Amino acid sequence: MSIKVYGFWRSIASFRIRVALKLKALPFEEISIDILQGKQFEPGYDAVNPEHVVPTFIHDGHSLYQSLAIMEYLDDIKPTPRLLPDDVKERAYARSLALMTIADAHPLTVPRVRKHLAGSFGADAHAIEAWVTHWTVEGLAAYERFLERRKPAPFALGKEVGLADICIAGQVVGAQYVKVELDAYPLVKSISDRCFALPEFKSSRPFEQPDYKAAGGKH
Amino acid sequence: MSIKVYGFWRSIASFRIRVALKLKALPFEEISIDILQGKQFEPGYDAVNPEHVVPTFIHDGHSLYQSLAIMEYLDDIKPTPRLLPDDVKERAYARSLALMTIADAHPLTVPRVRKHLAGSFGADAHAIEAWVTHWTVEGLAAYERFLERRKPAPFALGKEVGLADICIAGQVVGAQYVKVELDAYPLVKSISDRCFALPEFKSSRPFEQPDYKAAGGKH
């Protein structure tokens, strides 16, 4: 089985895929597409992914797109350990939590949006950081409110780490980019701390990636 | 079985759920939460959905959130007709297409984002419409490029209408809000035309909803 991932060190969606693959113990090769430099819009990458985003996941020559679809696929092709619970209501809750960052908080903070803010509204670096911080905090706060109603035990769905935790950890990665502390979100923090104690999460962090290090650690 | 949906006529995520429920022939009650007036942030609705978004789906008292999670759940509790194909790679492709609007195009155009553009950058109505139009067109163009590589036959995944088509149709609903014509996106248009020829889609359109009509048809 050959797995290739077109990703980028700073991409939170790429982070999710890295963690999922490592939890599944599936070896993969990651090819770096510098989305800060706009490499995702070049013709070579258009052939790989016509949406011009990362990650793209290629399994034995078959391409898949979108981090949630890829994580679900991994659960389908290698069910153990499971990322989504078996129970139908629990699966739905895991997906609900996952989508709060995937469909609501994270899309507002990606490079093409930051760039368009600058182009459309003349937003400077400070204003763009304030924008990213706002939506990052909104996402953390929404998670905290959900976790208050159903406490981590110790992960979001219970004893096993899974899809929801990967997505919450990704939201925390985004918080670190804009230096948002987690003190106001203790339940998010408790999940994040448990996640990042695991080698699969730790080694998937942006600043641990070879393309970050190759770029001289600039971000 | 009792199904309640907290939604709103203008919400594209609510549109998706309406269509999915109708394709499954599941009766439901829709409760209107006026997200243009900020009703989703009121304490009463916080009790329903701590993320303060629509839709919220309640099945026999059990709450679920996020349109994709809800549509997957509907496939789990009532597998026929299927919204997602059985084949693992095909399921992944359906989810990939779904997430291009759910995770990329649509989140950039919702009321809380439009409002924050006004608050943060002093964006006026014209600038906000230009922003929404930009991301709407980006989403349509990405779909068109994918559909060029795998032609609709006649729906996105083949003979049966499903999850990907619902999401593509939702993107077209968004295009209608900002008066983007589909001439440049003929494959998107072919799927949309087939979808809106079906009564389940037709009756789910925003301007057909009772809360739109009750508001005197203003938008």
Domain harbouring A158, CATH code: 1.20.1050.10
Q: How confident is the model at residue B1 (pLDDT cuts 50, 70, 90)?
A: confident
Could you tell me if B6 and B31 are in contact, meaning their C-beta atoms sit under 8 angstroms apart?
A: yes
Contact B104 A53 (CB under 8 A): yes
- Mark whether B93 and B193 lie in a shared domain: yes
Mean pLDDT of B68-86: 97
Half-sphere exposure of B56 (CA within 13 A, CB side): 20
Whole-number percent of chain B with pLDDT over 90: 97
Interface residue of A41, A56, A68 to substitute, partner B, most B CBs within 10 Å: A68
Q: How confident is the model at residue B219 (pLDDT cuts 50, 70, 90)?
A: low
Predicted pLDDT at B10: 97
Query: Which chain A residue shows the shortest CA-CA distance from B60?
Result: A89
Mean pLDDT of A210-215: 92
Mean pLDDT of B93-98: 98
Predicted pLDDT at B162: 98
Residue-range definition of the domain harbouring residue A156: 88-202
Predicted pLDDT at A204: 98
Q: Please write the tens of the pLDDT for every residue from A142-157.
A: 999 999 999 999 999 9
Could you tell me if A105 and A136 are in contact, meaning their C-beta atoms sit under 8 angstroms apart?
A: yes
Helix axis angle, A163-177 to A125-149, nearest 10°: 150
Contact A120 B130 (CB under 8 A): yes
Q: Is the pLDDT of residue B216 over 80?
A: no
- Mark whether B72 and B104 lie in a shared domain: no
- Mark whether B77 and B179 lie in a shared domain: no
Distance CA A72, CA A26 (A): 14
Average pLDDT, chain B: 97
Tell me the ipTM for this assembly. 0.97
Q: Please write the tens of the pLDDT for every residue from B125-150.
A: 999 999 999 999 999 999 999 999 99
**Torsion angles phi and psi, residue B150, rounded to 5:** -135, 105
Predicted pLDDT at A108: 98
Q: How confident is the model at residue A215 (pLDDT cuts 50, 70, 90)?
A: confident
Burial code (b: 16+ CB inside 10 Å, e: under 16) for B141-169 equals: bbbbbbbeeeebeebbbeeebbbbbbbbb
Does A219 reside within a domain? no
- Mark whether A140 and A162 lie in a shared domain: yes
Whole-number percent of chain A with pLDDT over 90: 97
In chain B, residues with a C-beta closer than 8 Å to the C-beta of A78 are none
Q: How confident is the model at residue A54 (pLDDT cuts 50, 70, 90)?
A: very high
Find all residues with CB under 8 Å of A139, minimum gap 6, and list them.
A100, A101, A104, A105, A106, A171, A174
Our CA-based measurement puts residue A45 at a distance from the nearest CA of chain B, in whole angstroms, of: 13
Predicted pLDDT at A169: 98
Does B219 reside within a domain? no
Q: Is the pLDDT of residue B218 over 70?
A: no
Predicted pLDDT at B173: 98
B131 vs A: CB within 8 A: yes
Number of domains in chain A: 2
Our CA-based measurement puts residue A51 at a distance from the nearest CA of chain B, in whole angstroms, of: 5
Helix, strand, coil shares, percent, chain A, to 5: 60, 10, 35
- Mark whether A109 and A36 lie in a shared domain: no
Does B49 reside within a domain? yes
